[in-house]
Amino acid sequence: MSTSTLRDRLFDDNGNLAIGEVQLLAGPTVIWFALFLLAPLAVVLYYSFLTYESFSVIQEFTLAAYTETVFSDTVLSSLTQTIGIGLVVSLITLVFGYPLAYFLRFYTSENGGILLLLFLVIPFWTSGVIRTLGWLPILGKTGVINQVLIMAGIIDQPLSWLLFSPVSQVIGYLQNYIVFMAAPIYISLSQIDEDLLDASETLRGTPLATFRHVTLPLSLPGVAIGCMFTFVLTIGNFTVPTFLSGGSATISTLIYDAVNRGLRYPAAAAMSMVLLAVIFVFIYALFRRVDISEIAQS
């Protein structure tokens, strides 16, 4: 681009700045994303093609991080398992989060619903590590649940499957992410025109039919956003698999290990890029099905 062309674009014939309002408003955001998202991602991508040798990264191009690490059976299997966990957790969180949002929308006042929703955020005043570790004295062999059950005579040996099991992981994820599912669904439900619900009732629609044909379809944008949050946060979560699984790795913990044990930056970068691609595909597929712009338009 020549200097004169750039000048022509920036200034009009009178020499006044010709950048429109939209560009001015969007500019800072674009710069922010370029500096703090695209540039770091470019560095990560670059590192994924570098050579690793005994604690050192050598500036030589190679595909080894992909061919030897990412496409190894172990990492592919871990990636599949991680995606599976993300989907299952999203589904379970939806099962618990939707009724919660529904209750807050239709069985409490507007202010009451928002207030109760905000209560779900209170646990986030502490760190994620503490929230996760907090389950150990509750679910452990000498934890509260086992002690109560033993004292009540319901069991005589502690239940070992409460902790370091799929149960403890689901509880950990659910506690962390239910608010990310419930909040967008609540917003979607709040934007439903009540006349539509009345119309369904007037047309002799049962509560179930009204829910199925009116409420649910109109709340799908909120469901989609909730699923996006939950899925993305789950497959990138580090504390739950580290502290509640008993030693089952996900792709995030493998990335951590690659850096933490041997400084294998190229392998970590390559796995990060694949994780990013998985997230992108999920979000793309999700939003091809559901138009979330309805929330914004409302």
Partner 1 sequence: MGPAWSNRDGQVSKFTEMTDINLDASRATIPTVQQKILGGDRESVDAFSVETSGAGALVQANDAHIPVPTSDLENWDTDSVSDLFSRPEERLDFLGAQAQTITDILWQDDAKSELRFPPTVYNFDAVGYNPKFVDEATLWSDIFDEQYNGQSIIGETASITIPQVLMHLLDNEMIDGKVGDINNPTQEQLDAAIDFLVEQKNAGQFRSTWGAYGQSVNLMSGEEAVIGDLWQPAALDVRRSGTPCTYATMETGQNGLQGYRFWYGGISPTNPGARERNNYNEVTSLINDVHYGAWFPGYIQGWGYSVPHYPNEELVRTGSDDSGQGMGPEYYDWAYRGTKTYQSVEEPALFDPQEYDWSMEEGEPAEDGSVRDSGDIEERIDRIGFFQIWPDEAEYMQQRWQDFTSA
Strand pairing class (56-61; 50-53): antiparallel
Write down how long the chain is. 298
Residue of 187, 176, 32, 36 whose CA lies nearest to 105: 187
CB of residue 186 vs partner 1: minimum separation in angstroms? 37
Q: State how far the Cα of 89 lies from the Cα of 250, in Å rounded to an integer.
A: 14
Using the minimum distance from each CB to partner 1, give the nearer residue, 218 or 273. 273
Using the minimum distance from each CB to partner 1, give the nearer residue, 79 or 197. 79
**Angle in degrees, CA 268, 227, 70, rounded to 5:** 20
Chain residues binding partner 1 by CB under 8 A are 52-56, 68-69, 72, 74-75, 77-78, 81, 136-137, 140-143, 160, 163-164, 242-243, 246-249, 253-254, 257-264
CB of residue 146 vs partner 1: minimum separation in angstroms? 11
Using the minimum distance from each CB to partner 1, give the nearer residue, 207 or 246. 246
CB of residue 93 vs partner 1: minimum separation in angstroms? 24
How far apart, in Å, are the Cα atoms of 285 and each of 41, 53, 75, 228?
A: 22, 38, 23, 11
One-letter amino acid for residue 177 of the chain = Y
Residue of 227, 250, 274, 244 whose CA lies nearest to 88: 227
The tokens of 64 are what?
């080894």
Using the minimum distance from each CB to partner 1, give the nearer residue, 132 or 219. 132
Residue 72 and residue 156 in contact, taking contact as beta carbons nearer than 8 Å:
no
Using the minimum distance from each CB to partner 1, give the nearer residue, 10 or 58. 58
Q: State how far the Cα of 107 lies from the Cα of 153, in Å rounded to an integer.
A: 38
CB of residue 154 vs partner 1: minimum separation in angstroms? 20
Instruction: Kindly state the helix (H) or strand (E) to which residue 264 belongs, with its residue range.
Output: none
CB of residue 144 vs partner 1: minimum separation in angstroms? 12
Other beta carbons less than 10 A from residue 175's beta carbon: 16
Q: Where are the beta strands (DSSP E) in 30-106?
A: 50-53, 56-61
Backbone phi, psi, residue 248, to 5°: -90, 125
CB of residue 81 vs partner 1: minimum separation in angstroms? 8
CB of residue 241 vs partner 1: minimum separation in angstroms? 10
Using the minimum distance from each CB to partner 1, give the nearer residue, 137 or 217. 137
Using the minimum distance from each CB to partner 1, give the nearer residue, 86 or 140. 140
Using the minimum distance from each CB to partner 1, give the nearer residue, 163 or 197. 163
CB of residue 59 vs partner 1: minimum separation in angstroms? 15
Q: State how far the Cα of 266 lies from the Cα of 258, in Å rounded to an integer.
A: 9
